[in-house]
Amino acid sequence: MKTKGLFITGTDTGIGKTLVSAGITRLLLNRGNSIGVFKPIASGGTISEDGKLLQMAARLPHSAYREIVPFHYRQPLAPWVASWKEGKVDLAKIEKAFQKAKASCDFLVVEGVGGIQVPITQDFFVTDWMVKWKLPVLIVVRAGLGTINHSLLTVEALQRRKVKIVGVLVNGYTGKGIAERTNVKALKKLLKVPVYGPLKYNPCYRKDLDLLAKDMAKLGLPII
């Protein structure tokens, strides 16, 4: 069976890509699918909390972590910048790990690194993985002020590269500000790709992935 999959990216770092990736993973897993998870590179600390959450979402053993996150920098920097002190990214190693992850399941959830133009090396960016791996892309965007500009720029950049966009998912909605209460409507009018959500902010999600999966199911994403 040819592996299907989804590349989850965002308009910025800290946008909620991991949470959305974990929610989709757990939802598909709970429906009886064979699911794999993959984060090609991470930075910050001695271990990637994002990678560990993906591991938990897929109910994989602790030993699977290094296959989920094949490359890691200690400094919380863009990979290319972190490489100035910690050594160049091994793109061949990451590619080998991706192909292995892809072959191990029927559906692979890939979480990107920051925004789409984060440099992995000086001449290789997150978008280059999207183009190379040919996975449809879901863009996670923040609910608050600034998201219209960032969302439009991200969609335009991906369309220019002929990357298939599943849609935009508005995340972390609290409804406290007028920008949050109007942004979903504005994005639906401005973008020519589907806009989903908003997914409300809930601090319980990281500890209750089944609750997250249940709420993700209500958003109407075609991929799930």
Q: Using one digit for the tens of pLDDT, what is the confidence trace for 79-122?
A: 999 999 999 999 999 999 999 999 999 999 999 999 999 999 99
With a cut of 70, which residues of the chain have pLDDT below it? 1-3, 224
Task: Name the residues annotated as catalytic.
Answer: 39
Q: 4-218 has which CATH code?
A: 3.40.50.300
Q: What is the pLDDT at residue 126? A: 98
pTM of the shown model: 0.96
What is residue 1's predicted lDDT score, i.e. its pLDDT? 36
CA distance linking residue 220 with residue 161, whole number of Å? 26
Torsion of CA 96, 101, 103, 106, to 10 degrees: -160
